Chains A and B, each alone.
Chain A
Amino acid sequence: MKRRIAILFGLAIFAAVASLRAETDEEVEAHKLVLDLTGAFSNDGFKLRDGHWTGTIKPQERALIAVNLYAGNQYWFSAAANAKAKKISVTVYDENGKPVVTETYNSGNKASAGFSPTSSGQYFVSLGLLEGEPTTFCLVYSYK
């Protein structure tokens, strides 16, 4: 019992430390790369949301995040991965997991998908590593 409590306590400490940890150099680099990409959208009046999601991804794997969007707004979801990634993709799904028709931009380790939802609610943004080695990515979004 005591051992179980100790393990749980250890896991809780680990989780707390993990949530507070500083970003790694790879995450900072991926974040910088994606911010370079979103400049094009800012020039077109899109506002960049002050928040990002970083993680690691392996080939043929998918990283998935839930977002909540408003009908009437236009959105661009952008992602960048470090140089070890040769080709990535960004795909958007509706709340039932059905793919949404998007405009896409792909350039090696950078990709974006944009659309204007007709229904407000939950959507899912998927990042895929199509070619390359396991790597760190960063995803952001812009809206107007």
Chain B
Amino acid sequence: MIFRARFGTIAFFLGTTIAFAAEPAPISSEQLAKAIKTDSLTIPTPGELFAALEKPGKPDWAGQYRTPIPMTYRNRAQIALNLGGLIADGFIAVEAQDSQQVKNTGTDIIKLAKALAVSENVLSRGNSISEFAENSEWDALQEELEATQNEVKASMQSHSDQDLVILVSLGGWIRGTQVVSASIMKNYDERSAKVLRQPAVINFIHSKMNEIGAELRNEPLIKTVSDQLSALEKLVTFQPGKAPSLEEVRKVNQAVSKLMGEIQKKTDAK
């Protein structure tokens, strides 16, 4: 209803009328199976997830901050996973409208990105993040964080590090889901809880992880994470339109928190 009410404005800007579409024919499961899936559009960003969580009421975003993670990882896969998690942290700080926290997270993002030898373009994003945070330009900051994530991934691809790209997305998804499930547990609301239904995201990430090189796939951390994705997929498979119960949310939170713990744990492995 709210969506329709907004259409007058959109139609005004488009300078035309907007129609309500006649119903087209359904698509077969064979055709659906052939649909394109890309990292850049098929996996939602933390910003989209947090936007949906905010609809019933603004959560205590600052209450979801975590203690700073180590910046001295040596394992490239672990760096990529943590980079994704840090970008999600950046989105949390933007939602909390906390300039200092955005700047701190931005600095950490650049430190980890440097460890992966990403391009100069990414490094210059760090300055933009600080500048936008200084001026409390929250919308611009959200765009900058998304752009930083994409720039990191593009840089990985051009450096023949394609296998790390999916790990950045996965790290962001796990950290985002940890924050959202924790927030729902604090103040349970069925509308908010509905955002946790994302089995296809995990399924897609899992299939991409099965495509990565054998050497990387056999690293202990990657094996641990990959092994837990099937169980996680089951945990976020709820009936369409039905909100998970508080207990179901708790189970999701436990699973992603355990994974996040593994990801940010400092080991001496190369």
Residue numbers of A with Cβ under 8 A of B are 16, 19-20, 37, 39-41, 43-44, 47-53, 55, 62-74, 91, 93-99, 101-107, 113-116, 118-122, 124, 126, 139, 141, 143-144
Contacts and interface: CB of A to CB of B under 8 A. Distances in A.
Interface string B128-161: 0000000000010011001100100000011010
Interface in B35-83: 35-38, 40-45, 47-49, 51-53, 55-56
A95 B20 CA distance: 21
A106 to B, nearest CB: 7
Contacts of B29: 96-97
B7 A103 contact: yes
B31 A121 contact: no
Nearest to A51: B40
B201 interface: yes
Q: Identify which of A55, A102, A120 gathers the most chain B CB atoms within 10 Å of its CB.
A: A120
A94 B209 CA distance: 25
Contacts of A19: 157, 162
10 contacts: A20-B157, A49-B146, A64-B27, A64-B31, A64-B35, A68-B201, A72-B191, A73-B52, A99-B24, A99-B26
A49 B21 CA distance: 24
B41 A67 contact: yes
Interface size on B, as a range, is 35 or more
Nearest to A90: B21
Interface stretch (B107-115, B192-200, B246-254, B262-270): B192-200
B3 A121 contact: no
Interface in B12-39: 13-14, 16, 18-21, 23-29, 31-32, 34-38
Q: Identify which of B21, B40, B146, B195 gathers the most chain A CB atoms within 10 Å of its CB.
A: B21
A64 B42 CA distance: 12
